[in-house]
A and B are shown apart, each in its own frame.
Chain A
Amino acid sequence: MRIGESVADSRPVEIQARRWGWRHGGRREAAIAGLDLRIAPGERVLLLGASGSGKSTLLHGLAGVLGGDEDGESRGELLIDGRPPEASRGRSGLVLQDPDSQLIMARLGDDVAFGLENLGVPADAIWPRVADALDAVGLRLPHQHSTANLSGGQRQRLALAGVLAMRPGLILLDEPTANLDPDGVREVRDAVARVAEESGATLVVIEHRVSVWLPVVDRVVVLGQGGRLIADGRPADVLDDRAGELRAAGVWLPTDVPWRAHAPAPTSAEHLMTAAALAVARVPGDPVQRGIDTRVDAGRILAVTGPNGAGKSTLALTLAGLVRPDAGELAAGVALAGDLGSEPWRWRSRDLLTRIGTVFQNPEHQFLTGSVRAELEVGPRALKLSPRERTARVDRLLAALRLDPLADANPFTLSGGEKRRLSVATVLASRPRMLVLDEPTFGQDANTWRELARLIVELRDEGVGVVAVTHDETFVEAVADTRLVLAAPPDDGDERAGTSPARHGDRAAHGTQRGVRA
């Protein structure tokens, strides 16, 4: 590659797939096969499809990062501007889903400059382009700013700036907003819209939640199993004509709420856990939130919401008896504690099993064994249940969560939705009275979302008290019974937390939010 050739060329890219296919090394089935697709220069395409449709593979293929012959087997042709993507590095830029794993350098400016250095841009030309790119995504921070101190939305905008600085003719986004809070989603979407407008680059974006990207794209392409083309056309046409198929594929159509819960039984609920003026901290003595007053009731779902950094996850860990409260009061009710003391953080690990189940944000943190079945047996074994009872419970869960075909699979090899279902199932195997979920619906497609929501409401109706930390407004509106809002900790230390009822039916009214002084 001649230096500067790809750098100077920032015209929008044309994409051409002819009978293209890719099989990952070690897999029997091709991820994608026989794809015919042409995307004209400057088109902005939303790429939809169920998990397993090979849409990420296509995007990685376009970015030229699928690897060589040892990584998999390629069929047919995939060309950008008539050349293989590997030969046109710098013509395309890729932003991935996980905001944490894409930071390359420790300082903001260096991170944006990284791609330009790799492309051989002369040093004098790099810094003006870095400044332009940061400006385009609206990150107005000093170049020396530490990338570790950025929010999720800022990190994704930084990744976008890094791509943008390379002046690509093709911008590829792989679920760039799936792991962000609502503010972060808007930040990133708006930045992409502005950038696409100004640069005129071809844009291909993958995302389950269609409504986020509809204002930006002018074409929707839907892939079926194995990369079969299901639908292709103007967004409005595709979404109207193919709504049924899209829903079946787990695509989240605009204004859709996949499922709504009925109101809980009006009987008075037992108190499982009560917090008063609670301060929570991951590192003892350094609380991330103070003055929390809340209560977990049997047969009710409490949603904990608030911006990043408000201490939602830390509160979840504290309510789950995993982390000791930093200050204030936290007491388990007799209904939950039974013959144990009222301080859940002092309970033995085994005692937690039948009392509080915790589903972590990242399912992989929870997996202990090499198969789905063994994973489900961990709890029942620790409880010393009889082999017959153990098998019965595990079989029932496998069937209920559609995991039975995967009983012998390694948990780490499951898809995102399957991992999430398994992590919930492992907790249910020991039948806890209280359930703590950290972002249960994060990044899930509409099908998994519906299954999880149904399951959680079923548990509620059986009398389980549920705490769900979430950014997902749809989940709060359609599923939760009460909402606890944690405020971002302001600099002056004036921190508040407020509770408001989230009533069924009329969920739009949250005006009754009650502020509680720290």
Chain B
Amino acid sequence: MSIGMVRPDLPLAAVNPVAKVAATIPLSIALVLTLDPVSAGVAIVCELIVFMAIGLGSLLWSPRTLPVWIAAPLTGLSMVLYGAPSGATFWEFGLIHISEGSLEIGLATMTRVIAIALPAVVLFLTIDPTDFADGLAQTLRLPARFVLGALAALRLVGSSIDDWRTLALARRARGVADRGVIRRSLGQAFALLVLAIRRGSTLATAMEARGFGASAERTWARRVHFGGTEWVVIVVGCLVAAISVTAAVVTGSWNLVWS
């Protein structure tokens, strides 16, 4: 089993992952600063247009983005029910106050979650973990030991999922799976940890035997570029943030969270 394999035919798959992550940052900062429906709504519209234009439209509605579409309304709903009440109150029950203000906050929160999470999920679907590690190490110059160690560890996640299933079956076979779910799960988690450490140390030996961590200057077989396309991606990210903020300020709904 493996995780995080990416289809190399996707648009943007060849773009330096560091640029893709960087492109989402300005909008995220802008949307965290303010709590209003306009900025986030405009951002969502911009995102949909941009993704459809570059051919990532199909990913927007893929099962991978489903968590976003589920989580966002739920977050919004909890704000509607429990957010600080203001304006006209429509309904009350115990701690629940649905008011004009809480409805507004709920809408603003929901759109915010979508506007921030949607591009993150879609862009990450186009990022191959190996490319990301290359970008972190070569573009951002993070230490190779750390980046490649983390990348190798990621490969063990797949084996751990298989281990977990087998451990559960082994417990049934040993006659202890009828009762005590919590205690059994704890024991199973510990066994998983032992197996993971085992695998990890074998992997570390294999890496060391191939010269990993030696004192020589490391080279990179896959050269990472940071050129025109990468800058365009970042500029588009900044533009979306700028348009959203401008729209909010012009319509008067810009609303800094601490004001």
Contacts and interface: CB of A to CB of B under 8 A. Distances in A.
A364 interface: yes
A227 interface: no
B220 A352 contact: no
B5 A364 contact: no
Contacts of B141: none
Given A360-B170, A365-B166, A123 B223 contact: yes
A507 to B, nearest CB: 31
Interface string B182-224: 0000010001001100110011011111111111111111110
Nearest to A103: B155
Contacts of B169: 317, 322-323, 360
Nearest to A358: B173
Nearest to A351: B175
A403 to B, nearest CB: 17
A148 B162 CA distance: 13
A160 to B, nearest CB: 12
Contact of B209 (A65, A113, A317, A378): A65
A146 B5 contact: yes
Contact of B221 (A116, A144, A162): A116
Contacts of A93: 209-210
Contact of A382 (B165, B175, B213, B219): B175
B78 interface: no
Given A159-B206, A366-B170, A126 B175 contact: no
A230 B175 CA distance: 46
Size band of the interface chain B makes with A: 35 or more
Interface in B140-167: 151-152, 155, 158-159, 163, 165-167
B220 A117 contact: yes
B166 A360 contact: yes
A1 B214 contact: yes
Interface in B214-252: 214-223
Given A101-B199, A163-B210, A3 B216 contact: yes
B170 to A, nearest CB: 5
Contacts of B215: 1
Interface in A414-428: 426-427
A368 B185 CA distance: 12
A427 B222 CA distance: 50
A128 to B, nearest CB: 11
Contact of B210 (A101, A114, A130): A114
Interface string A145-174: 010100000000001001100100000000
A1 B175 contact: no
A350 B174 CA distance: 8
Interface residues of A, number: 72
A211 interface: no
Interface stretch (A45-53, A104-112, A240-248): A104-112
A96 interface: yes
A320 B175 CA distance: 12
A198 B152 CA distance: 31
B8 interface: yes
B97 to A, nearest CB: 46
B130 A100 contact: no
Given A104-B210, A119-B216, A159-B206, A350 B166 contact: no
Contacts of B209: 63-65, 92-94, 163
Interface in A347-364: 348-350, 352-353, 356-358, 360, 362, 364
A315 to B, nearest CB: 14
A349 B184 CA distance: 13
Q: Closest 4 A-B residue pairs measured CB to CB?
A: A115-B210, A118-B211, A148-B2, A349-B177
